[in-house]
Amino acid sequence: MGERRRTLRFAPSPNGRLHLGHAYSALRNLDLAKQSDGDLLLRMEDIDTARCTPQHEAGIIEDLGWLGINWQGTVRRQSEHFDDYAEALERLRALDLVYPAFLTRAQIRQAVAEAEQGGSAWPRDPDGAPLYPGNERTFPDDRIAELIASDRPFAWRLDIEKACARAGADIVWTEEGRGPAGQTGTIAADPAAWGDVILARKDTPTSYHLSVVVDDALQGITDIVRGHDLFHATSVHRLLQILLDLPEPRYRHHALLVDRDGRKLSKSDGDTAIAALRESGASAHEVIRMCETGARI
């Protein structure tokens, strides 16, 4: 039996112009799609409706078109699918794996600072953020109901310990690329390293982690090609895929483009925006060459 046709996606957040780093990731996706006679889809990760705008989306589409990066089908916009994510959250709630967390960012900072006064460091997630110090997961139902009714803002957090216990011990993924430390092959996921991650907020019915796994499944994505910055997030994604009974994609993480000082390119580096390069007279071919030669793999 032949292998299932590969389906890939490029999934930018339309909160700024496309820069060289994004173009590099899009090109890696396109290459694999072409090599394997597969499909490349385009998804706009625009759940942050305050920062993501139709103008940025139009700019990204213009830049991709100029670079000759074509995709199949219509663009999936996450902001048009909040119901899908709310349904997934509801399933996790029904499994009693999520709880509302009420500490504000300032309260989290304060709780962590207090805990660290004793001299030992509070645990941090792979991105360096402190694990959630609140203990609402232990509150009785009537106290939680009271807090929800009090109109205070809150975040739905995954009870990572319970979630890991439900998913079972050996969560792994198949890495066809390499992680930041050269990891490849079968990778042991470590979702607990992230603590009780946020899956939604009172006013935004999803988070990056939740919408990405729901969409990858709904769009039939077989292969995820993305940067090293999301390598460790894969642990959370695999956990959610297991809890929500979603198919397991293959992963291929790639190095990030860096500037001459070895720093990751970011949207604030205006001069690496594709539009700025185009306006300064570079051809699409030259920009693609910049992506290819600038990458430290």
At 106, which amino acid appears? A
- 115 or 230: whose CB is closer to ligand GLU? 230
- Binding-site residue total for ligand GLU (CB under 6 A)? 7
Instruction: Tell me the H-state helices in the chain.
Output: 20-35, 54-67, 82-94, 105-116, 141-149, 160-167, 208-218, 233-243, 274-279, 284-294
Query: Which residue do the tokens 């509070």 mark?
Result: 122
Q: Which stretch binds ligand GLU (CB under 6 A): 7-15, 57-65, 95-103, 273-281?
A: 7-15
**DSSP secondary structure of 136-157:** GGGS-HHHHHHHHHTT---EEE
Q: What x-and-dash track marks residues 182-221 binding ligand GLU by CB under 6 A?
A: ------------------------------x---------
Is there binding between residue 13 and ligand GLU (CB under 6 A)? yes
Q: Is 12 an interacting residue with respect to ligand GLU (CB under 6 A)?
A: yes
For ligand GLU, the closer CB: 12 or 177: 12
Instruction: Calculate helix-pair angle for 82-94, 208-218, nearest 10 degrees.
Output: 110
Binding test (CB under 6 A) with ligand GLU, winner from 21, 40, 45, 273 = 45
Of the candidate spans 8-16, 65-73, 128-136, 252-260, the one that interacts with ligand GLU by CB under 6 A turns out to be: 8-16
> Residue 272 has what DSSP assignment?
G
Other Cβ atoms closer than 10 A to 117? 7
Q: Where do contacts with ligand GLU occur on this chain (CB under 6 A)?
A: 11-13, 45, 212, 226, 230
